[in-house]
Structure 1
Amino acid sequence: MQIFIDSAKLEEIKEAYNAGILDGVTTNPSLIKKAVEEIKKRGDGIDMEDYIKEILKTAHNARVSLEVTEYIYDKMVEQGRKLFKMFNPAAKNVYIKIPANPSFEGEKGKEFDGLRAIKTLSQEGIPVNCTLVFTPEQALLAAKAGAKIVSPFAGRIDDYLRTKNNIAFDKSDYYPADGKNDLNDNGIVSGIDLVRQIAEIFKKHSIEAEVLAASIRNTRQAREAALAGADIATLPFEVIKELLAHYKTREGMRSFTDDAIPEYVNLTKGRN
């Protein structure tokens, strides 16, 4: 499974790249807002175009998803084209994020605008990451429209199931992949179950689009995304760090360090 970082912070992207684990970067307007606010708090100015180009260069050859903010077909296509034209030359690694269904609650008439935008951009050679996927059906339709990546939001499905059923929770809490108390959203019992069902459908029907598990909140959920067949998981920086953490690893480091004898420690000192 490929590992993307879900961040717009240069220092986090750089650290993941330097560790040799970075396959891609996902951004969205909320993540960019958070990164920019931190920069402004430090009293630094920012040029948005230069900053995004720096994200792309920091990621090197890793794929970077940039999301449109428009939600009407022609405007999404126009913005997607402009984003790709502006930023893809920087590192040849840009994907454009288009929502599966850009309609707001209670709104009618734009249900197909996301799919139409995916189709148009894909036919022009602009790779699309379909975002805000919450059902296998949305994922299937997005892939048929031409999306290279579909992004089911695992954590948000878990939030929805708990909220709908008045279960108190913290977003970082683990939610079981096999569900809880017979709760489900039209047959989806958890965020990981959503990822699994999409992966199974794509495999069964030889669909080439990649399944990117998004909205991953903790290390167990990341592991289960891999077991569920996700091609990619995009993880917050803190979750990536937590993947490396274990008490017995720290304990072993202390033990081995304390037991190291001078004759062994000094073997390589003074040698080229």
Structure 2
Amino acid sequence: MEFILDTVDLEEIKDGIDHMPISGVTSNPSIVKKTSPEDFFGHMRKIREIIGKDRSLHIQVISLEADTIVEEAHRILKEIDDQVYIKVPVSYEGLKAIKMLKAEGIHVTATAVYDLMQAYFALAAGADYIAPYVNRIGNLGSDPMELIGNLQDRIDDDGYDCKIVAASFKGVEQIKNAFNYGAEAVTAPYAVLKQVFANPNIDKAVTDFNQDWYSVYGEGKGICDL
């Protein structure tokens, strides 16, 4: 099970990694726009410094043609490192680019997946991660959990070395369901992941425990003060 942060905000990444079992960081042009770093590659190198080599870093291309997608991938790998996962939208040209990149042994995350057949094509092309857009699929009237379940069944049945990284979330329930239906990873905004802990019952439980402790040993006296 992998929790991946969908942000390029350095402070969110630092805090997220400090508190949560974060496995990596994803980005796309819309997420980059929210932070708008002047030096794109320099900013991505800072992210790599923060997360280290043991966590995955996923950076998306913007070109529409397969050949230029591959050129952009090469530039990203040159500027950052050869462990970056290149995010490629599964368009017709994107599928061709995925095949080309995998022929070179480059890590690929197939993104912008709305349909099971799209996912199957990306799987057969060798993608390392496949990112179905959970909330957007639901908004279009389809069942994203059915897609995730069917895709994971295909991965298991055929023995593919690929992970579903469910994406596009508006709430915690969607994340929970994505895992329950078979996704091995999720990529979600920092604020959505933190929402798990915005439960007043958690704070009340902690407060009640502390009050009981202090009633025995004295107000403000912690375990290390004994």
TM-score if structure 2 supplies the norm length? Answer: 0.92
Q: Which amino acid aligns with 2:140?
A: Y
CA RMSD of aligned residues (A): 1.7
Q: Map of 1:176-195 to 2, 5 A cutoff?
A: 189-195=142-148
Corresponding position of 1:73: 66
Q: Does 1:155 align with 2:147?
A: no
Corresponding position of 1:104: none
Corresponding position of 2:51: 59
Q: Partner of 2:140: helix, strand, or coil?
A: helix
Q: Does 1:146 align with 2:146?
A: no
Q: In structure 2, do the counterparts of structure 1 residues 32 and 267 end up closer, same or farther at CA, with 3 Å as the change threshold?
A: closer
Q: Map of 1:15-26 to 2, 5 A cutoff?
A: 15-26=15-26
| Stretches of structure 1 lacking an aligned partner (at least 5 in a row) | 40-45, 102-110, 162-188
Q: Does 1:86 align with 2:66?
A: no
Deviation sequence 1:83-136 (CA, Å, 0-9, x none): 112111xxx5410011111xxxxxxxxx2x212211111111210000111112
Deviation sequence 1:149-199 (CA, Å, 0-9, x none): 1111111111222xxxxxxxxxxxxxxxxxxxxxxxxxxx42222222211
Structure showing the higher helix proportion among its residues: 2
- Equivalent residues of 2:98, 2:127 under 8 A apart: yes
- Equivalent residues of 2:6, 2:25 under 8 A apart: yes
Q: Distance in 1 between matches of 2:182 and 2:127?
A: 18
- Equivalent residues of 1:84, 1:126 under 8 A apart: no
Corresponding position of 2:85: 95
Q: Does 1:32 align with 2:32?
A: yes
Q: Partner of 1:243: helix, strand, or coil?
A: helix
Higher deviation after alignment, 251-260 or 77-86 = 251-260
Q: Partner of 1:25: helix, strand, or coil?
A: strand
- Equivalent residues of 2:172, 2:196 under 8 A apart: yes
Corresponding position of 2:224: 268
Q: Distance in 1 between matches of 2:89 and 2:172?
A: 26
- Equivalent residues of 2:83, 2:107 under 8 A apart: no
Q: Which amino acid aligns with 2:100?
A: T
Aligned residues: 222
Corresponding position of 1:185: none
Post-superposition shift, 1:49? 2.0
Q: In structure 2, do the counterparts of structure 1 residues 266 and 232 end up closer, same or farther at CA, with 3 Å as the change threshold?
A: closer
Q: Which amino acid aligns with 1:63?
A: S
Identity percentage of aligned residues: 28
- Equivalent residues of 1:14, 1:58 under 8 A apart: yes
Q: Partner of 1:268: helix, strand, or coil?
A: helix
Q: Partner of 1:82: helix, strand, or coil?
A: helix
- Equivalent residues of 1:154, 1:194 under 8 A apart: no
Corresponding position of 1:176: none
Q: Does 1:246 align with 2:199?
A: yes
Q: In structure 2, do the counterparts of structure 1 residues 252 and 100 end up closer, same or farther at CA, with 3 Å as the change threshold?
A: same
Q: Distance in 2 between matches of 1:22 and 1:115?
A: 29
Corresponding position of 1:137: 117
Q: In structure 2, do the counterparts of structure 1 residues 153 and 266 end up closer, same or farther at CA, with 3 Å as the change threshold?
A: closer
Q: Map of 1:210-221 to 2, 5 A cutoff?
A: 210-221=163-174
Q: Distance in 1 between matches of 2:196 and 2:160?
A: 30
Q: Which amino acid aligns with 2:31?
A: L
| Stretches of structure 2 lacking an aligned partner (at least 5 in a row) | none
Moved over 3 A (4+): none
